[in-house]
Structure 1
Amino acid sequence: MDVDDAAMNAEARRLEDEKARADAAAAADAEAEFRALQRRREAEIEAAHAEREKRARELEETRRKKLKPGNRDACSLPYVDGTDPLYRAASNGDIAAVKRVLKAMKTKRERWVAANSRNEDADDQSALHVAASRGYLLMTRELLDAGAELLPDEKGRTPLHLAAANDDEPLVKLLLKRAKRKWDAKTAFTTGGYSRPAAPVHLCKKPNLRKLLEFRGCGDDDGGQTRIKVEGDGRGVEMTTSMKIAAGVAAFVVALYVRARRQIEEGYARPTKYVR
């Protein structure tokens, strides 16, 4: 190898080394920039999280200050999860908080609105759903005193359905005795793997509780048909005894008429009186 070739090879190696060092430096700069960006992003996330926690604490402090007798704004401050104070108090099993919220309402109308408020973020359930599903008898009585009704949630379940599913006999008796719009307790729902609409009697297992529900009109009719309130087409409407008798008489008259018409068409003649 002559001198020129050696010089060219040395120059080529030098250029490759400089390129490798430049690439390494560029890669190091890019990595440093990425790490700096990542640190800034983490700092922004931590700051946003701290700000949310601060706002939540301020909201809780504002609620505690406002939640006192005679302040109607107590139920106008939703929690971070979207639920109202009465639902949250019922979920926590805090009957004292339930009483404070209801007492904060000045008028009977406002107490009724608070007791029947349903939460979209909690399957459209009300505070009465929570009390009935967990067996809070005293809390249920407080809510009923405020005007709570047997409203269905997004799955069609009323508080009576939930109490019957838990075989809670005292709570079922209280709901049947005190609740308004009892007919809504017969509203059927088809979720949960049921092959046909389920009434409260379908959900309980205690024989005496099933008899009570059947006696109060929350059971089955003939052939296992559920007593439910149906709008529109009239299917599932309960027939009284007088209606059943009238339907039977009408069917008998129609049958006699059809038989007479058939006999006339076949040339049937009524026999005349025998004369000697």
Structure 2
Amino acid sequence: MRAIWKGALTFGLVNVPVKVYSAIEDHDVPLHQVHAADGGRIRYQRICEIDGEVVPYADIDKAYDDGERTVVLTKDDIASLPAERTREIDVVEFVPSEQIDLLTLDKPYYLEPDSASPKAYVLLRQTLERTDRTAIVRFTLRQKTRLAALRVRGDVLVLQTLLWADEVREAAFPSLDEPVKISEKELELSASLVDSFSADFDPHRFTDEYQQELRTLIDAKLDQGDALDTSETFGEREEAGSGEVIDLMAALRASVERSRAARGEDVGDGAEDKPAKAKKKASKAS
């Protein structure tokens, strides 16, 4: 991996020199656009609307337009901003880890100690683990001020940028305004369905099926050309159901039975779940 940023993680008077690495990479098949008629590559050019000339990227500046006036911001203007010049990841507070809303998490980065001794780095990592706290930090990367959560992943400190509060939309749906009555039996069957799907999360068990199928399609077209029969490559496509639930209780019972059967469990009548059976045992014992 190649470091994308170098600086120092600071909290109080403690200074931890670090290197920052992107923690993720894109695995999508790279595709580009072509003209459907002849396969010619479609390319985009940066053309000035005043003189009609193609403009090299190095000659492009940014601008802000308020509808009446336009202000051009040069690269030197941007570089003059105080936040842009700082090379510090500044810890502003330590918060309980459960208070971090998963909806606000954005891009993750690995931090590597960048000094002769990693003692300060390891001290911070162990402190976060022992206190079950997450550090909220501020720093500037690629001409943007970022808010981020600093947390522990294994032996490494991970910096995960956070969305700003005004970037998260409020969810206001009129369909949820009216009270909905859920019966105890529906809750028991739903809990039983959840229990039948319960497992410890292992991300390696899951694959990007779309990208796998896309690669299969590309290989098949390279081999067979446009004469490719996709039904032979992927099999006949199954029609999706309407998704409309007519009887919620019947759907829950059928789902529990199907899940248990798939796991090789005794289906029984399919209507009782573990909480219900536990209640029966308790009543018999009394």
TM-score of the two chains, using structure 1 as the length reference: 0.21
The structure having more radius of gyration, on CA atoms, is 1
Which is richer in strand? 2
Which is richer in helix? 1
TM-score of the two chains, using structure 2 as the length reference: 0.21
Q: Which has the bigger relative contact order, CA under 8 A and spacing at least 6?
A: 2
